[in-house]
Amino acid sequence: MKILTPIKRVVDPYAKVRPTADGRGIDLSGQKFDINPFDEIALEEAVRIKERDPDTVIIAVSIGPSEGEEQLRKALAMGADRAILVERAEDLDSRAVTAELIAVIADERPDLVLMGKQSTDADRAQVGPMLAARLGWPQATYAAKLTVEAGALVVARETDDGEETLRIPLPAVVTCDLRLNEPRYIALPGIIRARSKPLDRRAPVGAQVAETIVGIAFAPGRTAGKRVTSADELLDALRSVGVLS
């Protein structure tokens, strides 16, 4: 099986971010970057599939700035066989990312695209289903468990109410949720092996971006209110602010 794992370079999801001085973007100076955590879960799942079936080939692809090479090297160290960087320096929307991925998929012809449910910076959760639709492939989003069968996948996916299990024929797009697995730490041999694995650059198709960020502001903060000391005091306070009748 051939698996394509899209990898997004994102600002460290545990770092505090702030708007730029002109309020047009997020200030990325001095920030660290990493693989989008949900993409890392997807890559881990691909590596586990390969451990069970050594004929599996994993191709990591990143659409974004040239610094994404750093995250692709990490993907190779985790277990991807090769990597492709499609360089787009500007902010992209989901349609543009989807169009770039489609061009890669047309050449690589993977059986499965395994990716995060969303990125932790843009938080859109769009590319997986958009890509599946453009390819005319079935999709399973929010995957919590994945089993490979002959020509198909059985995916337990998280839903608003709990969980459901889908059986989808390949080729397909699967987006991964938090509970699918815990990505491994990268061991030194992996890092050394990664240096000799191929990382190719591919020219972008230059798909147009329709979304412009015209402003970025801090979300309004909250401050500590008052302390109460009894159930009656709390219930009275809640009635006085109108959240309890």
Contact code string over 176-205 relative to another protein, x by CB under 8 A: --xx--------------------------
Q: Does 151 bind another protein (CB under 8 A)?
A: no
Scan residues 25-44 and list those touching another protein (CB under 8 A): 26
Please pick, from the candidates 51, 89, 165, 206, the single residue that binds another protein as defined by CB under 8 A. Answer: 165
Which residues, numbered 88-117, are part of the site for another protein (CB under 8 A)?
93-95, 98
**Shortest separation between residue 115's beta carbon and another protein, angstroms:** 13
Provide φ and ψ at 164, rounded to 5°: -140, 160
Rg for the chain, CA atoms, rounded: 21
How far apart, in whole angstroms, are the C-alpha atoms of residue 220 and residue 237? 23
Instruction: Name residue 77's amino acid.
Output: A
Give dist(CA 46, CA 197) in Å, integer: 17
Rounded to a whole number of angstroms, the minimum distance from the CB of residue 67 to another protein is 18
Cβ 77 vs Cβ 35: under 8 Å: no
Give the count of beta carbons closer than 10 Å to the beta carbon of residue 215.
Answer: 9
For the CB of residue 18, give the shortest distance to another protein in the complex, in Å: 8
- Work out whether 238 is an interface residue with another protein (CB under 8 A): yes
- Rounded least distance, CB 191 to another protein, Å: 28
Query: In Å, how far from its chain's centre is CA 40?
Result: 7
Site for another protein in 5-24 (CB under 8 A): 11, 13-14, 16-19
